[in-house]
Amino acid sequence: MRVRRFNLRLWIVSALLLVCGLARAQDGTVKSFALGRFTFESGVSIDNAHVTYVTWGTLNAAKDNAILLPSWYGGRALSYQFLVGPDRALDPAKYFIVATEMFGSSASSSPSNTPAPFDGPRFPRVAIRDDVEASRKVLNGLGVQHLRAVIGFSMGAQQAFQWAASHPAEVDAIVALCGTAKTYGHGRVRLESAISALTADPRWNGGDYTELPEDGIKAWAQHWSAWVYSQEWWRQELFKPRSASVEQVLADSVRSWHSRNLNDAVQLAHTWQDHDISKTRGFDGNIEHALASINARVLYMPGATDLYFPVTDAESERTFLTNVKFVPIPSLWGHTAGGGGNPTDAAFINKEIAAFLR
């Protein structure tokens, strides 16, 4: 009888531990992965580099159910929750989902949390390829050698394309939401105007500001507000009822930027500005060649009214992709359509991704 009771207790304890383990695996707890000394594409190295990440689900025995969600500009590892869940495209009961944050996210190694001599504006210039290699180290540390898919919004889409170009044998498919494989001339100029608007404030002081550059923040916030939504979004006043007026939208934007580290924001803008998968070794700056080399299946979902990554840029790129499903997001929410903030857009994206992954 004692043996039976002991076995029963052992079974109960084991079951509880298993349940708790699964809960931890699926609860989206924010974690940090130590990279140690990390050398950027520029050749500069920093010590004690780290990447913030979150996982949902468990890696199966075949290790073929992993999906990577790389972060976007201003996004965090938990920002992809609109895609994760039993009733969404990415069910943790089916997939092992890993969301990573880029350098400059303010949680992963960033200008704001790196000690001298690489603090603040002295943080190394970061390439999207650096973010890909850092997330690859995280995945390897989690036992992932192959990805079912890389799914990314905005700068996350840039990372998805880069994964397919840099590590073609390790990725079955990519999903690019409101982002392209290269930042073209207009995007580079737009980002430069944003950076100039912020840094023109004398209080910026080359990034070593001791008081907030209030005028620069206001100009910076107004720039992003003007471009992130479509013209029709503004004309139809789709900001209501959340905001009562255009002026409130702008005031809220300024307020939100007060809570962010500005050196992190500028560093990420430079990373976005510089991106081009044709700079990957072997492509010699030929974007058509780089795109044609991608053998992963591609679900390309530009925003129909995106002003950051115009649908015409995506239409041009798709002509060079060999295995692509092209599905523009029919939304008036501009660039934000790909980030899941609007329920209608989120439902559309989930439906398309779920069908693509079947």
Pairing of strands 149-153, 66-70: parallel
User: Are both 171 and 39 inside the same structural domain?
Assistant: yes
CB 153 within 8 A of CB 69: no
The answer to whether residues 139 and 58 belong to one domain is yes
Using one digit for the tens of pLDDT, what is the confidence trace for 286-314?
999 999 999 999 999 999 999 999 999 99
- Same domain for 228 and 298, yes or no, is no
The reply to whether 305 falls in a domain is yes
* Residues 105 and 225 occupy one common structural domain: no
- Residue 214 placed within a domain: yes
- Statement to judge: residues 163 and 68 lie in one domain: yes
How does strand 45-56 pair with strand 31-39?
antiparallel
Asked if residue 205 and residue 259 are part of one domain, the reply reads yes
pLDDT (average), residues 103-117: 98
| CA 45 vs CA 48, 100, 130, 132: distances in Å | 10, 20, 11, 16
Residue 14 lies in a domain: no
Give Cβ neighbours of residue 280 (< 8 Å, ≥ 6 apart). Answer: 129, 162, 165, 166, 290
DSSP string, 186-212: HHHHHHHHHHHHHHTSGGGGGG--SS-
Average pLDDT, the chain: 93
Domain shared by 215 and 304, yes or no: no
Statement to judge: residues 197 and 311 lie in one domain: no
Last residue of a domain, one of 224, 245, 269: 269
76 and 173 in a single domain? The answer is yes
Q: How far is Cα 91 from Cα 86, in angstroms, rounded to an integer? A: 5
CATH number at residue 263: 1.10.1740
67-93 mean pLDDT: 97
Residue 20 pLDDT greater than 70, yes or no: no
In a domain, 18, yes or no: no
Q: Are 85 and 55 in contact (CB under 8 A)?
A: no
Question: Which position has the higher pLDDT, 322 or 1?
Answer: 322
Residue ending a domain, choose from 269, 291, 313:
269
The reply to whether 218 falls in a domain is yes
Active site residues: 154, 306, 335
Of the three residues 245, 269, 293, the one that is the final residue of a domain is 269
Per-residue pLDDT, 101: 98
Are residue 167 and residue 282 in the same domain, yes or no?
A: yes
- Contact call for residues 302 and 311 (beta carbons, < 8 A): yes
pLDDT of residue 83: 98
Reply yes or no on whether the pLDDT at 5 is more than 70. Answer: no
Q: What is the pLDDT of residues 173-212, one digit of tens each?
A: 999 999 999 999 999 999 999 999 999 999 999 999 999 9
The number of domains in the chain is 2
Residue 19's pLDDT is 36
Average pLDDT over residues 48-76: 97
Q: Residue 95: CA atoms inside 13 Å, Cβ hemisphere, count? A: 25
Looking at the structure, tell me whether residues 171 and 60 fall in a common domain: yes
Say what the pTM is: 0.92
At residue 15, the pLDDT reads 39
Residue 11 lies in a domain: no
Q: Which domain, by its residues, includes 118?
A: 23-184+275-357
31 within domain boundaries: yes
- DSSP-assigned states of every residue in 4-37: HHHHHHHHHHHHHHHHHHHHHHHS---EEEEEEE
Interhelix angle 214-228/246-258, rounded to 10 degrees, is 120
152 in any annotated domain: yes
**Same structural domain, 161 and 293:** yes
68: CATH: 3.40.50.1820
pLDDT at 23: 36
